[in-house]
Amino acid sequence: MRGGILMDWSSHEFIWLDWAVLAIGLLGVVWAVWHAIVKDRKAQQGEDSSAYLFGKGEPWYVIGMAIFAANIGSEHLVGLAGTGAKDGVGMAHWEMQGWMILILGWLFVPFYQLMINKMGKIITMPDFLKMRYTQRTGSWLSIITLVAYVLTKVSVTAFTGGIFFKYLLGIPFWYGAIGLIAITAVFTVFGGMKGVMTLSTIQTPILIIGSFLVLFLGLSALGGGSITAGWENMMAACNAAHDGFGTTHMFHTDPADPMYPQFPGYVVFLGASIIGFWYWCTDQHIVQRVLGQVPGEDNAKVIARARRGTIAAGFFKILPCFMFLIPGMIAYALSQNPDSGIVMDITNHESTDGAFAMMVKNILPAGIKGIVTIGFVCALVASLAAFFNSCATLFTEDFYKPMKKGMSEAHYVFVGRMATVVVVLLGLAWMPIMMNMGNLYSYLQDIQSLIAPAMVAVFTLGIFSKKITPKAGEWGLIGGFIIGMIRLLTNVITDSGKAVMEGAFWENTAWFWQTNWLIFECWLLVFIIILMVVVSCFTPAPSKEQVDAITFTSDFKKSIRESWGIWDVLGTLLVIGLCACFYTYFW
């Protein structure tokens, strides 16, 4: 208050107005989600496990927002802004992947829809591998995916959410992290996929508008009221960082550059693409958003809706660099001014991870802080809920239903909910261990780089080659995963190759544990592909049914041709062009 009457609209703290807006807004969100769920259940005449887990033929724009919301989580609000503050656009390769989502819509969706037609039900990614390869291959994918969700996605989202609430709202870390998990668990148990879709629809526009407010107001503050001057000042400050090598370029080709050991040259693009291919085209967490359909709907409409959803998501995916990463760079530039209210030590990981929360607190006016925080809270819950829902789907569809056939739909929904609770407890149990394993964001990327090559090889060769045998897929998936986990173990022991290890064993295996993580990822992919080709030469060929499962009939080819038009092509080209422009500017 000023003079006991006027409100301090430029306060650098959360004031009563922000708290009031946040409380009223969240109550409104809860009502809207609950209303959508009740309406949907009345239309279904009861509970349906397929609707609970996958949704029912949502419009393309809802699919696009759901894909975007499922991807955006606290690792972006915290990790992406934090890496922007520390390393600039060095990690932008992992975010400027709108072009990669197009591969899901144009290339993989028709194959997944073909499999749905063959099996007569909505499929999971393990279902695909079971039909194309062996039962064991699909089961291993379920195990790998569940382990990855518990050890990385659920734990990381909750952990970084705790940091976000700490810096923005002043809530103690553990209160924020556990509170986020508890709220999300309740939401997921009762909301299912319809709840996730509805929440995604609500939070996406708030998140986008709020983040761009942070971007433009941050640039204005940095430029003394001029956004253009703010951009120039940001680029100047970031160009002077890292011993003058700068953080405003995506490729680091000079070995003297402090970022070269982490992102060596142009291999960073290939490494990021491998992870992106796995995540956007084969990960249950994302693919689940495009598989829902209305019973009896023809293939052309299903494929068209899914593809247009991925094109919409492609446009959305261009935004995170401007929503989170560049605001992190602005926060770094503002921290050079003692009067900005932003204090940052780039050598302290937790300090840089608080970049976005500090921007919200110090840049946005009173009231707007509360509105924007609503979108951020919804984003955290929607992202974490999407992980929980995917875990429930994998367990119910790939483990429980085959063992307990003929049970009621309500029973399967209940089992999916209990699986969610188990995932919550496992995620909480892992968090204290994860907190002692060094840099969180590097840990997350290392895990993804070790899982992705096996997934990319198995899915790609399984779809595009009819000569790859069932056993080859099994060997490729299991072998690649084991090698990846051995590398992870050495990363833990050697601090990702940084520690000096003495002894004959460590010296003789230095090539394995000291190789840069991106280079190791690329060679692991090459090894798995060669392994699958060799194994295919000595094992029985796939059966006629397995080959037919990936063979388009003339009618299906006709459906694919009828599923796209000129606007789909133009939208696709525009997404690719925007990505190319970003790379050109920050090359």
Q: Among 44-48, 88-92, 279-283, 582-586, which stretch is predicted with the lowest mean pLDDT?
A: 44-48
With a cut of 80, say whether residue 140 has pLDDT above it: yes
Q: What is the 3-state secondary structure (H, E, C) of 426-488?
A: HHHHHHHHHCCCCCHHHHHHHHHHHHHHHHHHHHHHHHHCCCCCHHHHHHHHHHHHHHHHHHH
Q: What's the chain's length in residues?
A: 587
Whether the Cβ atoms of residue 14 and residue 169 lie closer than 8 Å to each other:
yes
Instruction: Give backbone dihedrals phi and psi of 254, rounded to 5 degrees, phi first.
Output: -90, 120
3-class state of residue 2 by DSSP: strand
Structure tokens that stand for 178 in this block? 């556990």
Instruction: Give backbone dihedrals phi and psi of 76, rounded to 5 degrees, phi first.
Output: -85, -45
Q: Is residue 145 one of the residues assigned to a domain?
A: yes
Number of neighbouring beta carbons within 10 Å of residue 351: 18
Q: Is residue 6 one of the residues assigned to a domain?
A: no
Provide the CA 159 distance to its chain's centre, in angstroms: 15
More confident position, 390 or 94:
94
Q: Distance between CA atoms of 369 and 22, rounded to whole angstroms? A: 9
Q: Distance between CA atoms of 191 and 186, rounded to whole angstroms? A: 8
Instruction: Give backbone dihedrals phi and psi of 512, rounded to 5 degrees, phi first.
Output: -80, -45
More confident position, 386 or 266:
266
With a cut of 80, say whether residue 539 has pLDDT above it: yes
Element (H, E) at 581: helix 566-585
pLDDT tens digits, one per residue of 466-516: 999 999 999 999 999 999 988 888 877 776 666 777 777 777 777 787 888
More confident position, 150 or 190:
150
User: Across the strands, what pairs with 2?
Assistant: 6
Residues 422 and 457 occupy one common structural domain: no
Give, as one character, the DSSP assignment of residue 290: G
Q: Distance between CA atoms of 470 and 145, rounded to whole angstroms? A: 20
pLDDT recorded at residue 554: 84
With a cut of 60, say whether residue 56 has pLDDT above it: no
Q: Distance between CA atoms of 266 and 248, rounded to whole angstroms? A: 15
Provide the CA 497 distance to its chain's centre, in angstroms: 26
Q: Is residue 484 one of the residues assigned to a domain?
A: yes
Residues 461 and 353 occupy one common structural domain: no
Q: Is residue 110 one of the residues assigned to a domain?
A: yes
Residues 501 and 366 occupy one common structural domain: no
pLDDT recorded at residue 439: 57
Which residues, 6 or more positions from 61, have their beta carbon under 8 angstroms from its beta carbon? 309, 312
pLDDT recorded at residue 57: 59
Q: Is residue 101 one of the residues assigned to a domain?
A: yes
Give me the CATH number covering residue 377. 1.20.1730.10
Mean pLDDT across the stretch 28-48? 66
Q: With the C-alpha atoms ordered 405, 410, 411, 417, is the resulting torsion angle positive or negative?
A: positive
Q: Distance between CA atoms of 474 and 323, rounded to whole angstroms? A: 41
Q: Distance between CA atoms of 87 and 84, rounded to whole angstroms? A: 5
Residues 287 and 305 occupy one common structural domain: yes
Mean pLDDT across the stretch 118-140? 82
Mean pLDDT across the stretch 251-276? 90
Give, as one character, the DSSP assignment of residue 93: G
pLDDT tens digits, one per residue of 369-386: 888 888 777 777 777 777
3-class state of residue 406 by DSSP: coil
Q: Is residue 155 one of the residues assigned to a domain?
A: yes
Q: Which of 250, 238, 323 is nearest to 90 (CA)?
A: 250
Residues 359 and 452 occupy one common structural domain: no
With a cut of 70, say whether residue 436 has pLDDT above it: no
pLDDT tens digits, one per residue of 170-221: 888 888 888 887 777 777 666 665 666 677 677 777 778 888 888 999 999 8
With a cut of 50, say whether residue 3 has pLDDT above it: no
| Full DSSP string of 307-376 | HHHHHHHHHHHTSHIIIIIHHHHHHHHHHTSGGGS----TT-HHHHHTHHHHHHHHHSPTTHHHHHHHHH
Amino acid 188 reads T
- Please state, in angstroms and as integers, the Cα–Cα distance from residue 54 to each residue in 39, 62, 63, 66, 551, following that order: 17, 13, 11, 12, 25
| Full DSSP string of 133-187 | S-HHHHHHHHHHHHHHIIIIIIHHHHHHHHHHHHHHH---HHHHHHHHHHHHHHH
Q: Is residue 5 one of the residues assigned to a domain?
A: no
Provide the CA 325 distance to its chain's centre, in angstroms: 15
Whether the Cβ atoms of residue 151 and residue 430 lie closer than 8 Å to each other:
yes
Residues 304 and 376 occupy one common structural domain: yes
| Full DSSP string of 225-240 | T-HHHHHHHHHHHHHT
Residues 408 and 505 occupy one common structural domain: no
Instruction: State the residue for tokens 């990505």.
Output: 579
Instruction: Give backbone dihedrals phi and psi of 257, rounded to 5 degrees, phi first.
Output: -65, 130
Residues 574 and 532 occupy one common structural domain: no
Amino acid 435 reads M
Give, as one character, the DSSP assignment of residue 92: G
Residues 381 and 445 occupy one common structural domain: no
Q: Distance between CA atoms of 307 and 282, rounded to whole angstroms? A: 15
Residues 195 and 57 occupy one common structural domain: yes
With a cut of 60, say whether residue 570 has pLDDT above it: yes
With a cut of 60, say whether residue 445 has pLDDT above it: yes
Q: How confident is the model at residue 2 (pLDDT cuts 50, 70, 90)?
A: very low
Structure tokens that stand for 554 in this block? 């003339």
- Please state, in angstroms and as integers, the Cα–Cα distance from residue 527 to each residue in 272, 411, 447, 523, 524, following that order: 18, 43, 18, 6, 5
- Please state, in angstroms and as integers, the Cα–Cα distance from residue 397 to each residue in 114, 126, 147, 411, 550, following that order: 19, 9, 17, 13, 21
Instruction: State the residue for tokens 């209940």.
Output: 414
Q: Distance between CA atoms of 493 and 429, rounded to whole angstroms? A: 21
Q: Is residue 427 one of the residues assigned to a domain?
A: yes
pTM here is 0.82
Residues 243 and 342 occupy one common structural domain: yes
Q: Which of 342, 447, 362, 438 is nearest to 85 (CA)?
A: 342
Structure tokens that stand for 46 in this block? 């009861």
Q: Distance between CA atoms of 54 and 76, rounded to whole angstroms? A: 25
Phi/psi region, residue 225 (left: phi>0; alpha: psi -120 to 50; beta: rest), is left
Q: How confident is the model at residue 458 (pLDDT cuts 50, 70, 90)?
A: very high
With a cut of 50, say whether residue 15 has pLDDT above it: yes
Q: How confident is the model at residue 5 (pLDDT cuts 50, 70, 90)?
A: very low
Helix axes 368-395, 16-44, angle to 10 degrees: 40
Burial of 567 (0-12, 13-18, 19+ CB in 10 A): exposed
Looking at the structure of the chain, the number of domains it has is 2
What residue numbers bound the domain in which 576 lies?
Answer: 16-434+561-585
Residues 407 and 528 occupy one common structural domain: no
Provide the CA 134 distance to its chain's centre, in angstroms: 28
